A and B are shown apart, each in its own frame.
Chain A
Amino acid sequence: MAYKPGDHDDFDRLYRACYPRLLRILYAITGDAASAEDCVQEAFVHAFAAWPRFKPDRPPEAWIHQIAVNTAISHRRRARLRSIGEVMRRLGRPGAGRDPAEAASQSDVVKALTSLPPKVAADFVLRYVHGYNNREIAQLEGVSERTIGARLSQAREELARRLGPEWRGELPTSDTHSVVLPREPRGLGDA
């Protein structure tokens, strides 16, 4: 269903459609539920201000996705600068470290996702949580499918290094036969 730029009801519809997906993506980027919600709300505030000037040459979902990811990147950058400032201030003193409650609430998966670059984490969630394929993600972000494939591979390798080899993934069942078949001559040759 088409969105009309500047229409308040259409923006409400866009909010309802995109909010759950964006919240999970930004949670994977920031690692904090409150920060993720704050960033999503902030992204929608920015988008609402620019909504009358939105040009429908691309889907509004892609537009709001880009705004939200950029907002999360800015938030993460500020948080890192803040943490560096904290470290500098606490030099020579017994540091309190990270909030234990927050650290305990974060699972290993979320910690591993947070360690990824923001766009890599976003693509990983889009692909393996929300079920987008590489082409759809590429259209959403305005990059090539090759870039998306490289990012997903990077994410799987990093998660496999942190969480276990099962995160490296498995080849699709439809391609399994075409991949397994060439191995037979190699085995025969070895024999």
Chain B
Amino acid sequence: MPDRDLSKELKARLAAELTSGAPLNAPLPSLARYAMAAPAARPQGHLRGRMVTLAVAALVVLLAAAFAGPPQQRAWLVRTVGNLAGDLGAEVSTSSPSPGHSAPAASSPRGGTDDRSPSPSTPDADETPGAQESPEPRESAEPSQTPEAQVSPEAGESPQPSASPDAGGSSGDDGDHSSPTPSPSPDGGGSDDGH
């Protein structure tokens, strides 16, 4: 098949027809459709990228606070998550963080006395006849008597055993000595009940 060529006149006519039919405006890239559409698409991509970056950063901070931070922050996070789960009705998730949090607190001397104050007081309450009066002095003694908490039972118990065997004047003497002191108010109550 021979490769034929058009004459120069036909080529010129062909080019003139195509050029006049579709006049060529200056092909400015700034006026092209892709250039118009590009700025609208770019900021969306940037915004999306920034939002994703922020979300990932927040997640990393939360995970770092949960697993690598000090135990107080960890406890706070666990408590917060537990509260949230409790609000949603998951009671199992709320019960798991509370002993974990109370166990180290119980090992500390002050927190242990504050939290567990009713449990060691139960023998005192058993010894003392007035079980209803036992919480009242402890509430009043909580801020100041934490160091004296170990002393006050000794001071309170010493008149009571002495009062029970000695039903005579010794108890009255003890009751007279104990009554003016404000701290052994349960003893005073006990002595009143004894009397």
Contacts and interface: CB of A to CB of B under 8 A. Distances in A.
Interface string B1-28: 1111111001101110111011110010
B19 A24 contact: yes
Contacts of B37: 45, 48
Contacts of B14: 109, 125, 128-129
A27 B22 CA distance: 7
B46 interface: no
A20 B34 contact: no
A120 interface: no
Interface residues of B, number: 27
Nearest to B24: A20
A109 B13 contact: yes
Contacts of A37: 22
A170 B7 contact: yes
Contacts of A167: 6, 10
Residue among B14, B22, B27 with most chain A CB within 10 A: B22
B18 A166 contact: no
A74 interface: no
A130 to B, nearest CB: 9
Q: Is the interface of B mostly helix, strand, loop or mixed?
A: helix
Given A27-B18, A109-B13, A45 B3 contact: no
Contacts of B92: none
B4 A168 contact: yes
Contact of B3 (A11, A44, A149): A149
B2 A27 contact: no
Given A27-B22, A47-B34, 12 more contacts: A24-B24, A36-B22, A41-B32, A41-B34, A125-B14, A128-B11, A134-B3, A149-B1, A156-B4, A170-B4, A172-B3, A172-B4
17 contacts: A11-B29, A11-B34, A16-B27, A16-B29, A19-B27, A23-B22, A24-B22, A41-B32, A44-B34, A45-B33, A106-B21, A109-B17, A110-B17, A129-B11, A153-B1, A170-B6, A172-B3
The 6 closest A-B pairs by CB, nearest first: A169-B4, A48-B34, A19-B27, A12-B29, A27-B22, A41-B33
